[in-house]
Amino acid sequence: MINGGLLRDAVISAAHSISNKKKSVDELNVFPVPDGDTGTNMTLTILSAVKEVEAAPDDMKSIAKAMSTGSLRGARGNSGVILSQLLRGFAKGLAGKKEMGANELVESLEQGVSGAYKSVMKPTEGTILTVARESAEKAREMLHSTNDPIIIMEEVCKQAELSLNETPKLLPALAKAGVVDAGGKGLLIIFEAMRDVFKGGEIVKADAP
């Protein structure tokens, strides 16, 4: 089971990871417009969540609420708005919970996907939305064979990478530029950092400015 303190550490580590790699994510940014700011916007959004998470009590309810309100307050650009909705939905799935087990993890991922799709006027496949949705679907599938949230998170990361690598087949703009979706890449970085902390790894340190 994953407690509030572990979720807090996972969010902090995810924020540092995407911040450290934001330039490489920015360089992938060709859709919907090639403005090179996806990694930067996702970083600003999740760092806003971290600011509130670090000030919140250690219990799951408080951490989840802080993650949600902080990311919504700091959302920047399309990718930041989608990420904030993913985090908001994730928090919604933990409402009233003291710990996060397999069922809570799956529910949280699904709530995040639902919120993210609703936040976009014209959802486009081959983007962060596809990566998030297919990862959540994989998590739901894994419930048939395990009740270990860490094993499920491992499979979520594997699916996110598979989905990310398929994005150019779904979105001609990506295929033309020879890149994967920037938002999807950012989400994979976040998922992997959270997984590592859930498994007992240390919080990723932020690179010096």
Q: Is the pLDDT of residue 102 over 70?
A: yes
Q: Is the pLDDT of residue 153 over 70?
A: yes
**Residue of 30 and 63 predicted with greater confidence:** 63
* Position 36 confidence tier, pLDDT thresholds 50, 70, 90: confident
Which whole-number Å values give the CA distances from 103 to 9, 69, 107, 110, 193, in the listed order?
A: 21, 23, 6, 11, 21
pTM of the model: 0.95
- Report how far residue 62's alpha carbon sits from residue 80's, in angstroms, rounded to the nearest whole number: 22
Dihedrals φ, ψ of 100, to 5°?
-115, 110
Beta bridge partners of 100: 2
Residues 160-201 have pLDDT tens digits of 999 999 999 999 999 999 999 999 999 999 999 999 999 999
Q: What is the mean pLDDT of residues 53-70?
A: 94
Q: DSSP character for 120?
A: -
Beta bridge partners of 2: 100
Mutual angle of helices 182-198 and 4-20, in 10-degree steps: 140
* CA-closest candidate to residue 11, choices 69, 40, 50: 50
Which two structure tokens, joined as six digits, stand for 120? 């976009």
Share of the chain above pLDDT 70, in %: 99
Q: What count of residues does the chain have?
A: 209
